[in-house]
Amino acid sequence: MSVEIIAIGGYQEVGKNMTAVRINDDVVIFDMGIHLDRISMHEDTDIDRMHSLDLIERGVIPDDTLMKDVDGKVKGIVFSHGHLDHIGAVAKLAHRYDAPLIGTPYTAALIEKQIKGERKFKVTNPIKVLNPGSKVKLSKDITLEFVQSTHSIPQAVFPVLHTSEGTIVYALDFKFDNHQKVSPPPDYKRLKEIGKKGVLALIVETTNAKNYDEVKTHSERVAKNILEDVMRGPLQEKTGMIVTTFSSHVERVQAIADIAKKSHREIFFLGRSMERFCGIAQKLGILNLPKNASIYGSPKAVNKALMKADEDRANYLLVTTGHQGEPDALLPRIANGRTPFNIKKGDNIIISAPIIPNPTNAANRHIMERRLKLKGARIYPNAHVSGHAGREDHREFLRMLKPQHIIPAHGDLSMLAAYAELAEEEGYRIGYDIHILRNAQAQVFKS
């Protein structure tokens, strides 16, 4: 009798997350994500016409060919939340497995949208919805539970496998936020109950593990306060105004809309991914936009909205993609003069997103900001709080669950090692009960 945890993707990089857990003859797969850094990609990038083998070769999606050598039948493909580094490869890989795709209602709707846009493969896997706080039996020996979590996207969960061989918790990604508007707080009570019963293994993200200044991640309530302070003056001015943020960060989008709805400005949410993430959230009743807000996704509709705003810039607020300075995203194109909206002296640009740690992102963001400044724009960078747990949040999480074994994930080697160092402070030991895996490696626990 044994449990095997197989690192498929996300154990050498931030992104393309995919992990398989084998319990005797049954297999459960967690996530099928893309690696945004590997090609010139951002939230609006279209990979629908690209072949999976080409994407694997480029390192964009996980190399799951190793699953051919895994003994056992896949009983379910489980998604922790709807970010592209967790669901972006589903349309390229899921058809290889005779198993349902399982996610919360919002995640399931995003997966369905992803599959509908696919042009290379026919994906017929059934999509099953599981609400936070609910369970479903995947096989005789495995029950899947979704425990409520919080992150920078709605309906993020901790998937928990209750098996005949022990409990496995998958914690990619999370933060402990008690003050979100669109998501309830994490279910601390249930996490503690699971910890008391015993956790065989915890597979856990390491995004902020190296950030020794990010001790405990601030709530989204703090981000809203920052935005309120920053947006107050520009909203009243007679100049152009742009806010850029993650289109998937529905909580942040809600905050921006709430702040701006009392102003005289009409709010335009612009970009294909804004339409995807926010449109679905609005349809499901997660996002509540005011009457003075509209979402435009197609290039034609976006250009029409930009033209309108350019002619009467004092009466519009533009909320766009492109916070990383990605060359083909909307805000960089505005900065480059490639849209009908022209930056003028005194325009206000608020960036509600950090620079995602990567030399390309840092360079692109610097170039974009310089171009905006040269045109006379006033820039407010990093009106943001993280969507990932800080080091003390991780420490608290370990004390709640008390796992027998820890497998750090979702990071490069330095991030995995930084998490291992934190776990050692809590009494764990590398090579004994902390297991550092690389892509294509596995860890077996025998009973």
Mind listing the pLDDT tens digit for each residue in 347-375? 999 999 998 877 788 899 999 999 999 99
Of 126, 184, 180, 178, the residue nearest 157 (C-alpha):
184
Of 439, 445, 437, the residue nearest 405 (C-alpha):
445
Q: Which of 148-152, 215-219, 228-232 has the least mean pLDDT?
A: 215-219
Check whether 40 has a pLDDT greater than 60.
Answer: no
pTM: 0.94
| Contact assessment for residue 147 and residue 157, using Cβ atoms and an 8 Å cutoff | yes
CA gap 86, 149 in Å, rounded: 16
Burial zone of 347 (CB within 10 Å; 0-12 exposed, 13-18 middle, 19+ buried): buried
DSSP state of 67: G
Mind listing the pLDDT tens digit for each residue in 238-274? 999 999 999 999 999 999 999 999 899 999 999 999 9
Check whether 43 has a pLDDT greater than 60.
Answer: no
Check whether 24 has a pLDDT greater than 70.
Answer: yes
Q: What percent of the chain has pLDDT over 70?
A: 96
CA gap 125, 76 in Å, rounded: 10
pLDDT band at 382 (very low <50, low <70, confident <90, very high): confident
Check whether 137 has a pLDDT greater than 80.
Answer: yes
H/E element, 242: strand 241-245
Mind listing the pLDDT tens digit for each residue in 386-416? 999 999 999 999 999 999 999 999 999 999 9
CA 169 to chain centre: 18
| Contact assessment for residue 385 and residue 265, using Cβ atoms and an 8 Å cutoff | no
